[in-house]
Amino acid sequence: MRLRILAALPLALALALTGCGSDGGGDTGVASAGGAKQEGPAGGGAKPNLDELGVKFAQCMREHGVDMDDPQPGKGVQLKVKGNKETVDKAMEACRQYNPQANATGAPDPQMQERARKHAECMRQHGVEAFPDPKPGQRGIRIDAKVGEDPDFEAGQQECQKILQGGK
């Protein structure tokens, strides 16, 4: 089964929606995010903005065997992920330091998890009835191909994206 992964970045916080993965060989997932400049994960000195982190994250994922394009500057992260779950999970762990969606500890941000829950509710209200709620403590919303291919998905995503960015 293919999994599509929805990941998004808010304007002021790193979003706790990640989870680039799939369940089997060669399947495709999609991680998408919209964002703006913000401080990155913990560390000293100057912190890269979300665009820079997204590029570093994509480069790291490629170095660890995951076929992933760089995000386009200023347009947020639109990452197409291909690979089996084991490879993707190992790459996610290895690249955690560059993940623009994790807080300083690499743990899901509780505020972003609440936004993710509201986003899922919004998606269902906009016609994507099978859109799942995020699981507690899990970074990412994992959706299967049926949800990702729902004809209302793109329109719902455009309408509901603002919730992930801190809007209502």
- In this predicted structure, what is the pLDDT of residue 6? 42
- In this predicted structure, what is the pLDDT of residue 77? 53
pLDDT over 70, % of the chain:
54
Q: Collapsing DSSP states into helix, strand and coil, what is residue 153?
A: helix
What pLDDT band is residue 125 in, cutting at 50, 70 and 90?
very high
What one-character DSSP code corresponds to residue 131? Answer: P
- In this predicted structure, what is the pLDDT of residue 7? 39
Tell me what the pLDDT averaged over the chain comes to: 68
Average pLDDT over residues 93-122: 78
What one-character DSSP code corresponds to residue 5? Answer: E
Q: Collapsing DSSP states into helix, strand and coil, what is residue 96?
A: helix
- In this predicted structure, what is the pLDDT of residue 2? 42
As a whole number of angstroms, the distance between CA 42 and CA 154 comes to 33
